[in-house]
Amino acid sequence: MTTGDAQIERAVEMIAGARRVGVLSGAGVSAESRIPTFRDAMEGLWRSFDPQELATPEAFARDPERVTRWYDFRRRKCLDAQPNPGHLALADLEEVMRDRGGWVTVLTQNVDGLHQRAGSRDVVELHGSIMTWRCCESGRRFRDLPAQFEEYPPKSPEGALLRPDVVWFGEALPETALERAYEVAATCEVFLTVGTSSVVYPAAGFTQMAREHGASTIEINPDETPASEVVDLSIRGRSGEVLPLIVAGVRKALE
Ligand code: BV8
């Protein structure tokens, strides 16, 4: 256990007393599924690249082969990854809240689809999905993709460039995702920010927005982040360890 039990108990109390729960999840939640966060050293042949430089329309325009190789490398890691206890706990919490007429909405910055594979049904992909690629000309989306592309950059059947259906730096988030996120921040009673460095906007802003609307706010992260000053309860711990303890406590409190 990396946190004092008093913090877990306080989080249990806050969540058990609520019906409407918003969650902002970042790469730290998937770190325990062995998907490296942006902060972790880039692996292998990607060691010398800066992800924030690669995750941009400019990088794709300049070198579509390099960018699509990087994303396909990451897509394959996501396909091989399994949801971890942190993902499963959030799916379990959604069931608990649904059973009492409430909801849990996960606003995820992650593009790996692991929340959905863990069983969460109410997931908003703020930054899109690496599992979907789209045609740069027609905008048509492709989900049924080969395990590995034959050529880089991959092409649509019509021969146009395909790109990952993710939100790059400098690109606007999907309108529907933004609307859902604002609605969650405005109506949730508790807002949980888990596994995110809280530096990327507009996602990082939803914690403050929820707080301004009167929600109780909780952070789970092994490290301090800019959100740590803002939230009501900042728990230093790993999501795969802390979330299961909190959700088990909520189930017990509601028995
Ligand atoms: C926008 C998808 C406006 C792609 C991502 C200049 C020009 C243009 C824009 C800007 C600019 N300056 C600032 C901006 C805004 C910019 C921004 O915020 N930049 C930051 C760097 C300052 N934002 C944007 O560009 C956004 N769009 O503003 O558009 C606009 C409006 C209208 C019209 C046109 C434009 C778009 C941002 C989305 C970028 N795409 N991902 C991909 O995945 O490749 S962001 C990507 O990086 C992730 O999604 C994540 O959000 C972010 C950070 O990644 P990581 O650091 O790895 O992850 P995370 O932050 O979650 O940190 C990991 C955390 O986990 C750490 O805190 C660690 O301690 C913790 N942890 C580790 N292990 C565990 C753990 N926690 C719990 N348990 C553990 N076991």
CATH class of 44-80+132-166: alpha beta
Query: How confident is the model over 40-65, as pLDDT tens digits?
Result: 756 666 677 888 889 999 999 999 99
Among 24, 34, 37, 165, the mutation site with the greatest number of ligand 1 atoms within 8 A of its Cβ is 37
Using CB atoms within 10 Å of the CB of residue 19, give its burial: 0 to 12 exposed, 13 to 18 middle, 19+ buried. middle
Q: What is the mean pLDDT of residues 103-109?
A: 98
For ligand 1, the distance from its centroid to the CA atom of residue 204, given in whole angstroms, is: 8
- Site of tokens 């109390």: 13
What token pair was written down for 149?
A: 């592309």
Domain ranges of the chain: 3-34+83-127+173-253, 44-80+132-166
Distance, CA 219 to ligand 1 centroid (Å)? 17
Q: Which range (2-16, 92-106, 205-219) has the least confidence?
A: 2-16
pLDDT of 37 reads: 83
Structure confidence at residue 1 (pLDDT): 43
pLDDT digits (tens, 9 = 90+) for 170-207: 999 999 999 999 999 999 999 999 999 999 999 999 99
pLDDT at 123 over 90: yes
Render pLDDT for 60-73 as a digit per residue (tens, 0 to 9).
999 999 999 999 99
Reduce the DSSP state of residue 254 to 3 states and report it: coil
CATH no. for 3-34+83-127+173-253: 3.40.50.1220
Sequence-ordered list of residues with C-beta below 8 angstroms from that of 85, at least 6 positions apart, any chain: 32, 240, 241, 243, 244
Instruction: Name all residues whose Cβ lies below 6 A of ligand 1.
Output: 26-28, 31-32, 37-39, 52, 55, 109, 111, 127, 166-172, 195-197, 199-201, 203, 220-223, 225, 238-240
Task: For residues 69 and 156, give the distance between their C-alpha atoms in angstroms, rounded to a whole number.
Answer: 16
Q: Compute how many other C-beta atoms are within 10 angstroms of the C-beta atom of residue 179.
A: 12
CB-facing half-sphere around the CA of 177: CA atoms within 13 A: 19
Residue 7 to residues 37, 51, 182, 230, 253, Cα–Cα distance (Å): 26, 34, 28, 16, 15
For the record, the structure tokens of 183 come out as 């609605």
Q: pTM to 2 decimals?
A: 0.96
Mean pLDDT of the chain: 95
Q: Is the pLDDT of residue 230 over 60?
A: yes
Interval between CA 150 and ligand 1 midpoint (Å): 30
